[in-house]
Amino acid sequence: MRIGSLSRRLRWVFFVVVALLTIAFLVSTLLIVRREEQEAAVREAESKLIGLSGSISSSIEGYKELSKLMIMEEPLAAFLKEEDSAEAFNHIIDAKYSMQRIINVTSGVDAVYAFRTDGMYACTKRGVFVLDKESYEEELWPAAVLELRGRAIEYANGNGALRKIDNYPFISIERAFYDMNTQERTGYLMLLVSGKVIDQALATHQGSDICVVGLDGTYLSGDRSLVRVYDRSLAGSAVTHKPYFVRGQRVMISGVRVADTPIIVISCIPLEGKPLPGRTLGVLIFLMGAMTVGIFVLGRFVSVNITKPINRLSKAMNIGESAKELVPISDKMPDNEIGLLKDSYNSMVIRISNLIQELITKEQTIQRAEMRVLQEQIKPHFLYNSIGMISSLALRNGAGEVSSALETLGRFYRNFLSKGDREIPLEREVLIVKDYLSLQKLRYGEIIRDEYDVKDECLKCIVPKLILQPLVENSIYHGIRLKGEEGIIRISATIEDDNLLHLVVYDTGVGMDKETAEKLMSGKKNVSPDEESFGLWGTIERLRYYFNRDNVVKIDSEEGEFTRIEFIVPVTYVPRAEEK
């Protein structure tokens, strides 16, 4: 069952890959068709919009020039410059005639309005217009017009202050009048161009898929249904495109702003399905066929060169599993990665066999070492028993001091060995020092005086075994004994506010020089076993290793006076389950 699973999975993978490639081919074809449709629509829209916007821009420029000619008419200028309102009223007829004479040369102008700064105006028009006169008092004139200092600006449908009674669209061209001599503003001109001008420009372009709107979205000409698709994203100076749906049909909406005007031209081009060029379709079909053939060839290759050899390799490995041992593969495999896998497996079997043999040998060695340790543990008991027997004999024969010394020695070795423990409570470490000093006093008499100031909360703290005895031994042999007079060895222990255990060994021996103290505290391995301070250096290194910190010791000494060695280590207490 397991052997055939790889083949079945491979077949499923093969069919899935073929399906995915087919779907990818169809999706790619659809995307290519859509892209071709959009690119064709973009090209068509740009051709229409650029040509139409240029035609509208040209017409608007002509009417802007016409408004400029009106400024130069003397009757109109006299009407606007006259300071006396009564006299200005007498110039209205001449101003109207002057404006009428100019607009008669074109059929695209619906009306012309000329406003004085006092609100009086003259006009000539075709059709009926409704004017909001208050909007054309001087203080309410559009700021955009005044900022142009006499240049023209265009608005769709009169900028909201004027409308035609039949609601037919129009474009207002507006500019301010200035006196040629004084450069003071004298009035305001508004020329109304009929929307028919835009209709005429649209008539030159076939189709009803174009709409012209104002910058604010007001309708001017063309297909009115396209007004609802307008937004400011279509009002750029370059042609802008966006896919859209109109009446359930996919279309390309495009728009462009007529240069320097508030007029936007919008086009709607249907994205109709168009067949791909025969050459492109043929290439796609060829690629699909080539990929299909390639998949079948690949499947056959994998089956012959990978699947079947792996099945054989798996069977050969199972032979060793059933035999409960690692057996090298003897079957012949292809001279490729499968063959390398077989050789690697055989090499691994040989290495594992050698490692197993080495582990067996090491285990035997460990067992022999444990037997030696067990034998060594018998020896201290023999020593304790022997010392106890000699002590009893000495006591029965009246040698009380000898008996006391032997008992102290026995107690010292019991605490010293500590059942093989590496860490012991500080209480037991202090007992070791006391027994050691008791034995040393037998040798050196009363020249050694020991003092102890160990706080009760420190007694249960765990410390590495034999960290105080080497320091005490150092104090005797390299401190007090060399001084040749009575000396004090003081042991103290406290837990300070820093929550660290401070162990201090103080002696009144010969002390040490500053260089030696710094050498010991440096943490560098620069003390040899032959030097006097090697025992102290070894203890410091043990503490650094045990507590994994460098700052564990402070040494204060004055030559000929004293030596004070302080160990600073973390506080660790005896677990309650182990307290006795």
Tokens 């607009």 locate to 103
Whole-number pLDDT of residue 501:
93
Q: What is the percentage of the chain residues whose pLDDT exceeds 90?
A: 9
Question: Are 144 and 165 contacting, i.e. CB atoms less than 8 angstroms apart?
Answer: no
Q: Which tens digits make up the pLDDT trace of 325-384?
A: 666 776 676 767 667 777 777 787 778 778 877 777 766 654 554 444 444 443 454 455
pLDDT tens digits along 118-138? 878 888 888 788 877 666 666
* Confidence grade of residue 393 (pLDDT, cut at 50, 70, 90): low
The DSSP bridge partners found for residue 242 are 253
Assessment of whether the complete model's pTM goes beyond 0.75: no
pLDDT in tens, 502-552: 999 999 999 888 888 888 887 655 555 545 555 787 788 888 878 888 888
Q: Is the CB of residue 18 less than 8 Å from the CB of residue 224? A: no
**CB proximity list for 37: less than 8 A, separation 6 or greater:** 271, 272, 273, 274
What topology does CATH give the domain 446-578?
Heat Shock Protein 90 (3.30.565)
What residues are paired with 566 via a beta bridge? 504, 554
Q: Would you list the domain boundaries of the chain?
A: 1-274, 446-578
Rounded CA gap, 100 and 103, in Å?
5
Residue-wise pLDDT for 167-188, tens only, equals 788 888 888 888 878 888 888 8
Residue 29, token pair as written in the block: 């074809």
How far is the C-alpha of 426 from the C-alpha of 413, rounded, in Å? 16
